[in-house]
Amino acid sequence: MASHNAGKVAENAALLAEYGIGIVSAKELGLPVPEETETSFLGNATLKALAAARASRLVALADDSGFSVAALDGAPGVHTADWAELPGGGRDYAAAMAKVRDLAAPHADRTAWFTCALVLAWPDGHVEGFEGRAMGEWVWPPRGPGGFGYDPMFQPAGQALTFAEMDKAGKHAISHRANAFRMLAEACLKG
């Protein structure tokens, strides 16, 4: 699993476990964190998956994801992690969510969504990529102790709870990650 984000690794591990597939994370293997230089989720996921597959000689799954606000033209988007980055290293998601709220609050449109690009890469350079979304609204104040990242400020369409208020199964039933994973499973894991 070509990711250094514990929340993502746990969610993808749970999705893969349904197919009897175990994972070892890039962090556990001591792989470097590649620079995410592409302008799309699929581009960055491809770069991360290929780097891990080539370094580990194993099939690697990368997950590039992010939060988008319609009134901010899709920002923070591929820069979602950067908005949480602290100057001295580490991340502050409470501050990142407050920044999104401050910029978005003047706009009446509360539409927001998560995107997840999943890319499988083989050591020989073959790649397969899939993208999923979860549509909804941003809410303030943030609510819920679960999930990770920006989950407390996202309420999926038609739901009363934020992602952070749902249990794991509730988020998996409708998440951007599970939607992308369903396509990946259909194409690469079944049969």
Ligand X SMILES: O=P(O)(O)OP(=O)(O)OP(=O)(O)OC[C@H]1O[C@@H](n2cnc3c(O)ncnc32)[C@H](O)[C@@H]1O
C-alpha to C-alpha distance for 51 and 34, rounded to whole angstroms: 7
Annotated binding residue at 101?
Answer: no
CB of 137 to Mg ion, least distance (A): 25
Q: How far is the CB of 19 from ligand X (least distance, A)?
A: 20
Contacts of 110 (CB under 8 A, 6+ apart): 71, 104, 137, 138, 139
Site string for ligand X, 162-181 (x = CB under 6 A): -x-------------x----
Q: Which stretch binds ligand X (CB under 6 A): 12-20, 77-85, 100-108, 183-191?
A: 77-85
Q: Angle, nearest 10°, between helix axes 6-17 and 176-184?
A: 40
Q: Which is nearer to Mg ion, 41 or 113 (CB)?
A: 41
> Residue 9 Cβ, how far from Mg ion at the closest point, in Å?
12
Q: Is there binding between residue 148 and ligand X (CB under 6 A)?
A: yes
Q: State the SS3 of 26-79.
A: CCCCCCCCCCCCCCCHHHHHHHHHHHHHHHHCCCEEEEEEEEEEHHHCCCEHHH
Catalytic-residue membership of 82 = no
Instruction: For residue 92, say whether it is annotated as part of any ligand binding site.
Output: no
Identify whether the C-beta of residue 2 lies closer than 8 Å to the C-beta of residue 49: yes
35 labelled binding-site residue: yes
Give me the residues that bind ligand X (CB under 6 A), please: 3-5, 8, 36, 63-67, 80-81, 84, 114, 147-151, 163, 177
Q: What are the catalytic residues?
A: 64
